[in-house]
Amino acid sequence: MEKLIITAAICGAEVTKEQNANIPYTIKEMGKEAESAYNAGASIIHLHVREDDGTPTQSLERFKACFAEIHSRCPDVIIQPSTGGAVGMNDKERLQPIYLNPAPEMATLDCGTMNFGGNDIFINTESNIINFAEEMNKRGIKPELECFDKGMIDMALRIQKKGYLKKPMHFNFVLGVVGGIGATPRDLNYLIESIPKESTYTVCAIGRYEFPMVFLSIVLGGHARVGFEDNIYLSKGVLAKSNGDLVNKVVNMSHEFGREIASPKEARKLLHIR
């Protein structure tokens, strides 16, 4: 089986220090958390940024500062900024990190509108998605297709047929968000069976579903995402001290099955990045 690519989603836009004091907000904290994940075995950092008080932002300046801090600690890590941002942000705001110079190697591309967490609406219409894809294509950015439900895979395939996405496509299946697909083996199989054979995919899941779903992905040949964005616990009732703790747990799982961990260089090759 090919080596396992581990993505660390180090802070997200929603989780707070009140829930786990180790959630990074400041630029230094972001660097420290990315470094802990990288040292444990992550080759990709999925990045949201915050103001020092924790407010989510898509500020280009803030991304620039966080990229510099992370690259000073982990020069070869792949940084994948979010273009999802936080619910309620407009498209112009959300797209800011793709205008970094040099352009990021990857960025997320959310593939559909949904009830996010129940009562919020995360808006990604077909024309929004095409616009984001075109902007990424112009800059040679590899989109990671964020699919919170099966219909989002169908939307990604539709957009690919129209010529806005290149093959092989890379998906991230996000399971267990209220408003999206559940987090059971059946749900995961359904998503895996719905993507073109030559695609790559990563799996992440919310809260207590994180490790069981990642475990299945390791066994089935997919890749893995963990991190504070998705889950703050190392085990039941035990808060993780760092993103590195969460990554380390995945590394141990993967080694149990004799699956090696991809370096950033190997991840670039597996994902056909640039």
Residue numbers at the binding site for ligand KMH (CB under 6 A): 12-13, 82-84, 86-87, 108, 110, 116, 122, 146
Report what 58 binds from ligand KMH, Zn ion, none; CB cut-off 5-8 Å by kind.
none
Minimal distance, residue 128 CB to ligand KMH, in Å: 12
Cβ proximity to ligand KMH, 88 vs 185, nearer residue = 88
Provide the pairing of β-strand 223-226 with 200-205: parallel
Stretch near Zn ion under the rule CB under 5 A, chosen from 59-67, 78-86, 133-141, 254-262: 78-86
Minimal distance, residue 84 CB to ligand KMH, in Å: 3
Cβ proximity to ligand KMH, 13 vs 261, nearer residue = 13
Report what 129 binds from ligand KMH, Zn ion, none; CB cut-off 5-8 Å by kind.
none
CA-nearest of 192, 194, 136, 197 to 166 is 136
Minimal distance, residue 237 CB to ligand KMH, in Å: 25
Write the DSSP string, 146-214. Answer: EESSHHHHHHHHHHHHTTSSPSSPEEEEEE--BTB---SHHHHHHHHHTS-TT-EEEEEE-GGGHHHHH
**Whole-Å CA distances, 180 to 85, 108, 219:** 17, 17, 23
- Residues contacting 44, CB < 8 A, separation 6+: 5, 6, 7, 8, 77, 78, 79, 80, 106, 264, 267
Cβ proximity to ligand KMH, 25 vs 259, nearer residue = 25
Minimal distance, residue 46 CB to Zn ion, in Å: 6
Which residues bind to Zn ion, rule: CB under 5 A?
82
